[in-house]
Amino acid sequence: MPASSSPSPPGPAPQGWLEVWLEAGREGRTFTYAHPSGLAIGVGDLVRVRLQGRPHTGLVVATAAACPAAMEGRAVLPVDAVLESAAIDPLWQALLEGVARQCHTGLFRTLKSALPPGWLGQARRPAGQGRVLWTVRPNPAAAGETVTPRQQALLDHLASHGGARLLRDLVQEAGFGRSLIGTMERRGLLLREAARVPSGAGGRGAGPAPLESAQPASPAQAAALAAIADAPPGQSLLLWGVTGSGKTEVYLQAAARELAAGRSVLILAPEIGLIPQLLDRCRRRFGPAVIEYHSGMGDGERVLAWRRCLEAARQHAPCLAVGTRSAVFLPLGQLGLIVLDEEHDASYKQESPMPCYHAREVARLRARQTGARLVLGSATPSLETWWRCQPRPQGQPADTRLLPLPERIGRRPLPPVRLVDMRQELVDGHRRLISRPLMARLETLQERGEQAVVLVPRRGYRSFLSCRSCGEVVLCPHCDVALTVHRGPRAGGQEGREWLRCHWCDHRQEMGDRCGHCGSTAFKPFGAGTQRVMEQLATELEGLRLIRFDRDTTRGRDGHRRLLERFAAGEADVLVGTQMLAKGMDLPRVTLAAVLAADGLLHRPDLRAAEQCLQLLLQLAGRAGRGERPGEVLVQTYSPDHPVIRHLVDGRYAAFLAEELELRRQGGMVPFGRACLLRLAGPTASGTATAAAALAERIRPAVEAAGWVVIGPAPAPVARVAGRSRWQLLLHGSLRAADGVAHGTPDGDSDGETALPLPPEADLRRALPPGVSLTIDPDPLEL
């Protein structure tokens, strides 16, 4: 559309026409502008334009020598100025086009998702200006003031570091909270000063710290490194190493080789909680210039990281970036190596907003385009990745090469798994949440100088609140889920205040004392969350030091780092947390890994329930015995004979994958077929259901003609979230060459996927009534 229909000011005739994308609306829109004579502008340039009289920053996405037919006879505004040339690399744009095809999403929606928030609105920082960090030092005028023990500890810490430290180092490394520092500033005990640091510098201390040397490689590590170095461009490799086998060392040594050759490296982790350890290891090996990128950073910090990658690419300088799934889009030039640590983790899949991409598949596409090697690392690889390692028919090689690391560093043994049959605990009259064997083992931690991690399926205090008279469960008024009971800290010897909270929309309400359905006062909380486990451990094992590690306690930029550093420093004996504590953390003093209520993980109505449960339990088991002392795993369950528990005990993950693959083959399920979920949400259940039914009938002929089936419409598993009704359609189709084939590109699609039999996204949206939204989720991990 034209940028303006008002008369244009007199001036020289334009030398062409430009399509400029602006961040307007949900996914951005393109507008036509005139190309002023004498101004060199090309596709990928950032330009300044005016829209409705206001200046905007836009991205040139197309050029034309002739005036578009729709613009004939209409006045069009010219581009005001070029802000940055070649801000978008053609190869990077080709990556986005491939992702848009894979995810059945418009290119501009994909572009908006890939760019850091506010990127178009950011002014460029003058070269050499650097960034501002804050230094904290004691206020000499406050000497002699009364302080708390914690405040005195901070002052002593500053004195031991020359009288001043960077604010971020006080928080991230020393573990002092921002609230403590803020309180001391308000009291005048501390002074904060700006310290400008050149771009790319780490700002940690007065001078560069000596870099850590590479560790001697074991024979298996050496073989893996040689295979990575000799792999052809674009090759995918699965580094399957048991927990503690030294996968990260392989990543670092492979990265060092690429950087020395002038090629950039991208290392991804599935969650923000894993970034601090990975980032620290990379900076100890390669220096402070390692680029960090994830959603836990501020918008300005992410824009700065993005521009550092762009500037390095323009100068043909290699760089190393570490981040979560969104970092897969960083504009790295001369990319030589991409690493996905914990490649099996579901956090690599984006469910909303669109595009619903999987970082592993984007990385695979990017590796093919750039010639980078793709290393997928895991102790429990996903079934899809393991399937790609199997030979193709007719003796063709697998498209992913398997690199095994079968032993832990130093030949340390894997921890044995011990089951506690909770049925027998009940028979013996022990009805408590924590079994007698686990209590006995926790009692020995302090005298042995050891630590433990305890996995609890849910956060909060209790899972839900229900009436014992009529069975009514207290639900969120905006979502079809039970409210979780939370409890505040004890105060003055009194129990903490309890309240109800929704983990979907964050609705909160007070605890009632009477059932709203039948009026009974027989209200009782059921289940147990991390808060409840913490309380029971503190009550029954007096003196045991505990740290809670879940989404509620790790909020904020440095929440994960702060708690893990406290635990690693020996400030607690037990780390109690949800699934995030099973993921990739290296804690050498942990000798016990325990699972409470494993049955809650086993019995889920989901295709991948068994696979994901076994992965989680094996990953948790890997947290124990990584140091000099041997470890053990203790699992409380009411289903000790369940196949997943059996495979956990014997540790034969490959046998489980073979069994699971055969079940999937028989059912024509992933990876022998594809699925796509269409999720609709609207203000009313009836309106959303009607829209879903109409959409199903519209797409059914083409879907069935392609050999696929349409299942539904049906209410989503959680049928209402934040007051909006949710319905869904499931599309499923078998790969046409799936039988006996370990890799499928049956239609010759360049992205290696069977195309979805759907009209364009824009056509689907136009068929929906106002107020009803649509999300297209190809290859969903949960149905």
Whether 99 shows a pLDDT value over 80: the answer reads yes
Of all residues in the chain, the percent with pLDDT exceeding 90 is 22
Per DSSP, 6 falls in state: S
Q: What are phi and psi of 277, to 5 degrees?
A: -65, -45
Residues 459 and 531: beta-carbon distance below 8 Å: yes
Per-residue model confidence (pLDDT) at position 252: 95
| Nearest one of 345, 410, 334, 332 to 377, comparing CA atoms | 345
**Neighbouring residues of 716: CB distance < 8 A, sequence distance ≥ 6:** 679, 726, 727, 728
Does the pLDDT at position 125 exceed 80?
Answer: no
Give the bridge partners for 132, in sequence order: 196
DSSP symbol at 409 = G
Measured CA to CA, the distance from residue 670 to residue 604 in angstroms comes to 18
pLDDT of residue 203: 41
> Within 13 A of 480's CA, how many CA atoms are on the CB side?
11
**Alpha-carbon gap, residue 309 to 330, rounded angstroms:** 7
Per-residue model confidence as pLDDT tens digits over 145-197: 888 888 888 888 888 777 778 887 787 777 788 778 888 887 888 887 655 44
Structure tokens, 232:
């052809």
With a threshold of 0.85, does the pTM exceed it? no
**Could you report the per-residue pLDDT of 269-311, keeping only the tens digit for each?**
998 888 888 988 999 898 888 899 998 888 888 888 898 898 8
Stated as kind and residue range, the H or E segment containing 726 is strand 724-734
Rounded CA separation 244/630 (Å)? 12
Contacts of 763 (CB under 8 A, 6+ apart): none
Listed residue (209, 277, 215) closest to 252, CA to CA: 215
What pLDDT was estimated at residue 355? 93
Rounded to whole angstroms, how far apart are CA atoms 493 and 512?
Answer: 23
Tell me how crowded residue 93 is: count the other CB atoms within 10 A of its CB. Answer: 16
**Is 50 exceeded by the pLDDT of residue 126?**
no
List the structure tokens of 592.
Answer: 């016990």
Strand ranges in 28-186 using DSSP code E only, listed in sequence order: 29-35, 46-51, 54-64, 81-84, 131-138, 165-166
Of the candidates 351, 325, 348, 347, the one whose C-alpha atom is nearest the C-alpha of residue 679 is: 351
What phi-psi label fits residue 162: left (phi over 0), alpha (psi between -120 and 50 degrees) or beta?
A: left
Tell me, what's the pLDDT at 135? 77
Cα Rg of the chain (Å, integer): 28
Rounded mean pLDDT, 341-346: 92
**Nearest CA among 573, 579, 532, 588 for reference residue 554:** 579
pLDDT tens digits for range 494-516: 455 666 777 666 777 777 666 76
| pLDDT tens string 368-405 | 999 999 999 998 999 999 999 988 776 677 889 999 99
- Concatenating the DSSP letter of every residue in 329-362 gives G---SSEEEEEEETTT-GGGB--SSSP--BHHHH
Kindly indicate the confidence band of residue 34, based on its pLDDT and cuts at 50, 70 and 90: confident
pLDDT grade for 731, boundaries at 50, 70 and 90: very high
Mean pLDDT of the chain, nearest integer: 80
* Whether residue 326 has pLDDT greater than 90: yes
Q: Where would I find the H helices in 261-298?
A: 275-286
Most confident region among 15-19, 626-630, 769-773 by mean pLDDT = 769-773
